[in-house]
């Protein structure tokens, strides 16, 4: 089953970074196609407008991808990682919802 988590929490060996960067020493895979664009990510960091971030992420990232191909690339047991900690809205949750909407794949947060 596909999962999500964040860098400072996850300690397993199936981590896949979907962030624009990752911590020094990160040894997992990277999937840059799911990373947010720099301009709207920086805007979000300045104004915390997650609704705008979410709309832009869906428009500029997810709408350009095929959910079946993404799932095949990630594998059924991958753990999608980004920087945002527990309880904070982030793009890994948008990816989870997108995969569930299009493929009925339940993605759980570790």
Contacts of 5 (CB under 8 A, 6+ apart): 15, 79, 80, 81, 92, 109, 110
What's the DSSP call for residue 9? T
pLDDT at position 69 is 97
Q: Is 98 exposed, middle or buried (0-12, 13-18, 19+ CB in 10 A)?
A: buried
What's the DSSP call for residue 76? T
Q: Tell me which residue of 61, 88, 44 sits closest to 109, measured CA to CA.
A: 88
Question: 108: which 2 tokens?
Answer: 């759980």
Residue 100: pLDDT band by 50, 70, 90 thresholds? very high
pLDDT tens digits along 35-70: 999 999 999 999 989 999 999 999 999 999 999 999
Model pTM score: 0.92
Whether the per-residue pLDDT at 23 is higher than 90: the answer is yes
Helix (H) / strand (E) containing 80: strand 79-82
pLDDT tens digits along 66-95: 999 999 999 989 999 999 988 888 999 999
Tell me how far apart the alpha carbons of residues 8 and 68 are, in angstroms, rounded to a whole number: 29
């Amino acid at each position: 089953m596909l999962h999500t988590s964040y860098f400072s929490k996850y300690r397993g060996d199936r981590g896949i970074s979907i962030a624009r960067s990752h911590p020094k020493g990160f040894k997992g895979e990277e999937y840059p196609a799911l990373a947010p664009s720099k301009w709207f990510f920086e805007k979000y960091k300045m104004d915390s407008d997650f609704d705008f971030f979410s709309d832009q992420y869906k428009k500029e990232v997810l709408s350009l991808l095929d959910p079946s191909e993404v799932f095949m690339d990630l594998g059924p047991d991958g753990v999608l990682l980004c920087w945002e900690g527990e309880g904070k809205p982030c793009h890994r949750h948008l990816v989870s919802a997108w995969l569930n909407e299009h493929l009925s794949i339940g993605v759980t947060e570790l």
